[in-house]
C-alpha cells in the first residue's frame, strides 16, 4: 500500500531551501517517492484553526518501508541538519487504504 509523508514546516529563513530541495529530490526518488505538495504550494484552512506552519509538504511512497528507508537514508542526515538550522518540521507518515 502507498504511504504518505506529510510535513508541516515553520520556516524562519529560507536560504537553505535550494540545497535541501536538490538533495532531497534525489533521495526521495531513490526510494520510489514523488512529491505531491511542496512548501511553496498555496494552501488554505477550510475548517478549524490554522496551523503555525509556513509551508506543507506531501510525499508519496510505494510503501511504509520505502518511506522509512528515505527518512533513515544516511545521505539524508546532513540535509536534516541543514533544514533544522532555520526551520522546524512536524512530520507524520500515514499508510493509504
In terms of residue numbers, what domain contains 89?
Answer: 3-43+51-95
pLDDT of residue 53: 86
Total domains in the chain come to 1
CATH number of the domain at 20, please: 3.30.70.100
Q: What is the pLDDT of residues 1-51, one digit of tens each?
A: 999 999 999 999 889 999 999 999 999 999 999 999 998 899 999 999 988
> Which grid coordinates are listed for 50?
490554522
Q: What Cα–Cα distance (Å) separates residue 64 from each residue in 2, 10, 96?
A: 7, 25, 9
Pairing of the two strands 34-37 and 3-11: unpaired
Residue 57's contacts (CB-CB under 8 Å, 6 or more residues apart) are 5, 6, 7, 9, 35, 37, 38, 39
Residue 46's contacts (CB-CB under 8 Å, 6 or more residues apart) are none
Scanning the structure block, which residue is given the C-alpha cell 490554522? 50
Amino acid at each position: 500500500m502507498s504511504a504518505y509523508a506529510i510535513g508541516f514546516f515553520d520556516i524562519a529563513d529560507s536560504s537553505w531551501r535550494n540545497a535541501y530541495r536538490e538533495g532531497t529530490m534525489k533521495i526521495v526518488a531513490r526510494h520510489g517517492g514523488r512529491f505531491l505538495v511542496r512548501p511553496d504550494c498555496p494552501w488554505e484552512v477550510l475548517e478549524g484553526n490554522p496551523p503555525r506552519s509556513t509551508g506543507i509538504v506531501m510525499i508519496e511512497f510505494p510503501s511504509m518501508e520505502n518511506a522509512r528507508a528515505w527518512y533513515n537514508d544516511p545521505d539524508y542526515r546532513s540535509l536534516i541538519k541543514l533544514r533544522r538550522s532555520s526551520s522546524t518540521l512536524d512530520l507524520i507518515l500515514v499508510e493509504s487504504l
